[in-house]
């Protein structure tokens, strides 16, 4: 069977100039000297997507994910390599990029449909579906420049998703609008998949990648470094995030144990150096004690920011005391992206006796639990507090210091999964 998408040995090189005048001199051919640095956004990337297959592309920022989609859809030209497309494409890249702000919503629907390659009769047939999906009422007859940002993305998404393509290209576009519109977007995406459409899907949402994709490709700094089943490639991606891709699982556990011993004695690298941290850290305290190290550990002993729903994981916190402190309290809490506190605990709630650490003492606290939160990203805060001379005292507090990405293939409603067992039985009644 002819593949829907075939990419062979794709390169995309950008010329980076130190000075704008060098760009002009090079463009005009005024010098034979090389005035630029070569930056490869993609290097020797090959990829085949079969008809009816859903393939995900994951990778860190700057890995080339969006670049390869733009080349496949014709937005960018490759420096080298070949791209073969067999089927009509609808792309959800930069929503509304082809809209004319002076046109009405209706006029833009026909403009975009024509740009994709549809006839007026074909757009007429799809018009009501587009209007129903966008659900912006009579605003569709007004100039797009009068729209709110929410109305604009709703119409742009509705046009892209309701034009019936053979190949759908999606780049981080399923999270537009409010929660109800997002729900409609995901339902439409599932309809495409059930209808056997070919889908190429880029996302940082690893739960969606795990749930929808038949196969996943991993890019890192412009190169394809992995391809296979979602779980296998997501596990590989977790290692890329902490620069541990070449470690075997047993070696990862031994490495953590070595680092744990080194960190406990102050002679080695910190655990936190292997985590992705919040660059805008909000930390404070009176300095009598400090949280000097921390990490999140998955069920294989690997330090990571990514946990699979249902798996056991631990958050480890290392505290150093500069004065004698009685019964210090170590705390961990989780918030959602909007800053709403979801859950948390501390050594006092758990009735843990933390004793009376002396000056120079180190206290290591490990919080272990099963991941029951729904798929998504959560912010983790750490605290070292207590009561000193009868007053509540903050020794060190770290707000939203790192995030945990929960990968889930099945979510329920609300913030966490109660793990309910559901049994359905047919009652055979006699007439």
Residues 174, 231: one domain? yes
Task: Count up the domains in the chain and report the number.
Answer: 2
pLDDT tier at 177, thresholds 50, 70, 90: low
Query: Which CATH number does the domain housing residue 47 bear?
Result: 3.40.50.300
Residues 181, 329: one domain? no
At residue 264, the pLDDT reads 52
Q: Measured between alpha carbons, how far is 221 from 417 in angstroms, rounded to an integer?
A: 36
Domain boundary among 177, 212, 241: 241
189-199: average pLDDT: 86
Residues 126, 163: one domain? yes
Q: Among 35-39, 271-275, 353-357, name the one with the lowest average pLDDT.
A: 35-39
Q: Are 274 and 303 in contact (CB under 8 A)?
A: yes
Residues 231, 85: one domain? yes
Query: Which CATH number does the domain housing residue 376 bear?
Result: 2.70.50.60
Q: Measured between alpha carbons, how far is 99 from 80 in angstroms, rounded to an integer?
A: 30
276, exposed or middle or buried, with CB in 10 Å at 0-12, 13-18, 19+? middle
At residue 252, the pLDDT reads 44
More confident residue, 251 or 150: 150
Q: Domain for residue 61, yes or no?
A: yes
For Cα atoms 303, 308, 314, give the angle at the middle one, nearest 5 degrees. Answer: 45
Q: Domain for residue 431, yes or no?
A: no
Q: Domain for residue 249, yes or no?
A: no
| Paired residues of 320 in beta bridges | 290, 362
pLDDT, mean over the chain: 86
Is the per-residue pLDDT at 263 higher than 80?
A: no
Range of the domain at 281: 257-407
Q: Domain for residue 218, yes or no?
A: yes
pLDDT tier at 246, thresholds 50, 70, 90: low
Residues 171, 229: one domain? yes
Give the model confidence (pLDDT) of 68-85 as tens digits. 999 998 889 999 999 999
- Phi, then psi, of 283 in degrees rounded to 5: -125, 145
pLDDT tier at 431, thresholds 50, 70, 90: low
At residue 95, the pLDDT reads 58
Q: Among 262-266, 276-280, 303-307, 424-428, name the one with the lowest average pLDDT.
A: 262-266
Tokens 């038949």, residue located = 214
More confident residue, 100 or 94: 100
| Paired residues of 12 in beta bridges | 42
3-class SS at 391?
A: strand
For 166-220, strand residue ranges (E) read: 167-171, 198-202, 215-220
Tokens 């992705």, residue located = 276
pLDDT tier at 131, thresholds 50, 70, 90: very high
Q: Domain for residue 140, yes or no?
A: yes
Residues 237, 261: one domain? no
Residues 262, 224: one domain? no
Residues 214, 267: one domain? no
Domain boundary among 241, 275, 308: 241
Q: Measured between alpha carbons, how far is 352 from 361 in angstroms, rounded to an integer?
A: 18
More confident residue, 88 or 289: 289
**In angstroms, what CA-CA distances link 150 with 116, 134, 174?**
23, 10, 14
Q: Domain for residue 403, yes or no?
A: yes
167-193: average pLDDT: 74
Residues 304, 376: one domain? yes
């Amino acid at each position: 069977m002819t593949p829907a998408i075939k990419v062979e040995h794709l390169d995309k090189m950008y010329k980076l100039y130190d000075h704008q005048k060098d760009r002009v001199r090079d463009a005009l051919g005024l010098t034979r000297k090389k005035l630029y640095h070569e930056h490869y956004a993609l290097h020797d990337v090959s990829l085949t997507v079969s008809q009816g297959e859903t393939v995900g592309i994951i990778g860190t920022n700057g890995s080339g994910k969006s670049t390869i989609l733009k080349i496949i859809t014709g937005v960018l030209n490759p420096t080298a390599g070949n791209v073969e497309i067999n089927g009509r494409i609808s792309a959800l890249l930069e929503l509304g990029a082809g809209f004319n702000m002076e046109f009405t919503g209706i006029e833009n629907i026909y403009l975009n449909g024509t740009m994709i390659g549809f006839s007026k009769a074909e757009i007429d047939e799809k018009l009501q579906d587009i209007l129903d999906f966008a659900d912006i009422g009579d605003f569709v007859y007004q100039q797009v420049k009068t729209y709110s940002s929410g109305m604009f993305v709703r119409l742009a998404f509705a046009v892209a998703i309701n034009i019936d393509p053979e190949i759908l290209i999606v780049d981080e576009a399923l999270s537009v609008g409010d929660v109800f519109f997002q729900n409609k977007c995901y339902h439409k995406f599932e309809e495409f998949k059930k209808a056997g459409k070919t889908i190429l899907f880029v996302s940082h949402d690893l739960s969606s990648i795990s749930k929808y994709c038949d196969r996943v490709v991993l890019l890192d700094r412009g190169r394809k470094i992995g391809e296979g089943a979602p779980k296998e490639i997501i596990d590989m991606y977790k290692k890329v995030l902490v620069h541990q891709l070449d470690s075997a699982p047993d070696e990862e556990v031994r490495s953590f144990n070595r680092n744990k011993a080194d960190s406990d004695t102050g002679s080695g690298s910190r655990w936190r150096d292997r985590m992705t941290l919040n660059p805008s850290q909000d930390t404070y305290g009176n300095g009598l004690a400090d949280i000097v190290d921390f990490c999140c550990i998955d069920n294989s002993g690997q330090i990571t920011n990514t946990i699979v729903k249902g798996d056991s994981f631990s958050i480890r916190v290392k505290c150093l005391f500069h004065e004698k402190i009685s019964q210090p309290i170590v705390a961990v809490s989780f918030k959602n992206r909007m800053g709403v506190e979801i859950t948390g605990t501390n050594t006092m709630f758990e009735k843990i006796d933390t004793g009376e650490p002396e000056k120079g003492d180190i206290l290591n606290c490990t919080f272990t639990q099963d991941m029951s939160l729904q798929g998504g990203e959560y912010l983790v805060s750490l605290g070292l507090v207590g009561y000193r001379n009868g007053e509540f005292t903050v020794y060190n507090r770290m707000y939203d210091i790192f995030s945990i990405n929960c990968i889930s293939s099945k979510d329920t409603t609300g913030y966490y999964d109660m793990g309910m067992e559901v049994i359905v039985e047919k009652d055979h009644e006699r007439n």
